[in-house]
Amino acid sequence: MRTGQLEVQPHCPTCKKLLDGFTAIDHDKKPKAGDVTICAYCNEVLQFTDDMSLKLASPGVIEECGLLEISRGQRQAREFKERVDMRRMIKESIGST
């Protein structure tokens, strides 16, 4: 499990947000085609396509990952987003003074 920045920044098919970060569910490497990821904004379970855009993960794919792993990933994605929001808030408050 790892979070980080994406080089290619796909849009979430559910909430349409530009995803510049990721949470890898089943390994510690950068995401590759076919990997399952969680949208940090809407917590949707997504899968990278061959061209590294995103589609909804199919129930079979989710099952393969394991629901425990998925829910752990969703929790991590939430925490990741909270950290990003926090940093942005701090940056904005510094910038406004």
Q: Is position 41 an interface residue for Zn ion (rule: CB under 5 A)? A: yes
Which listed residue (8, 42, 89, 90) binds Zn ion by CB under 5 A? 42
- Taking the complex as a whole, the smallest distance from the CB of residue 47 to Zn ion amounts, in Å, to 13
Q: For residues 44-63, which are near Zn ion according to CB under 5 A?
A: 44
81: amino acid identity, one letter: K
Binding to Zn ion by residue 14, rule CB under 5 A? yes
Q: Residue 92: CB partners within 8 Å, gap ≥ 6?
A: none
Residue 64's CB: how many other CB atoms inside 10 A?
12
15 binds Zn ion (CB under 5 A): yes
Q: Which two tokens stand for residue 84?
A: 């990003």
- The token pair at 85 is 């929001």
Rounded to a whole number of angstroms, the minimum distance from the CB of residue 32 to Zn ion is: 20
Contacts of 2 (CB under 8 A, 6+ apart): 23, 24, 27, 28, 29
* Contacting Zn ion within 21-40 (CB under 5 A): 39
Contact footprint for Zn ion (CB under 5 A): 12, 14-15, 39, 41-42, 44
